[in-house]
Amino acid sequence: MSYDEIAKRAALKYKKNKQHPVSLAYKQDEWNTRIHPAIERSGMPTATFIKKAIDEKIERDGLDRAEHSDR
């Protein structure tokens, strides 16, 4: 097995075991007129922009504290 195949398998294993996919759907008009232009103006990749927005919301609203856990 080549190094490339080993690296690919390791990357897929990491993604499967260490990451959680999140799917979003927006109305096409809202995406095209508001969200996508804002992401482009930020200069960040889409995933980075979304992750940063989530992190800011969690921090701002204090949602990272245990007392907010509903589970």
Find the domain containing 35 and state its range.
Answer: 21-71
Residue 2 maps to a domain = no
> What is the predicted pLDDT for the residue at 43?
98
Q: What is the amino acid identity at position 19?
A: Q
Residue 11 maps to a domain = no
d(CA 58, CA 10): 31
For the chain, what is the domain count? 1
> What is the predicted pLDDT for the residue at 65?
79
Are 58 and 64 in contact, with CB atoms under 8 Å apart?
yes
> What is the predicted pLDDT for the residue at 70?
56
Tokens describing residue 50? 């979304």
> What is the predicted pLDDT for the residue at 1?
83
Return the SS3 of 25.
coil
> What is the predicted pLDDT for the residue at 29?
98
Q: Which helix (H) or strand (E) holds 11?
A: helix 3-18
> What is the predicted pLDDT for the residue at 64?
87
| pLDDT, mean of each 10-residue run, the chain (71 residues) | 92 94 95 98 97 96 74 50
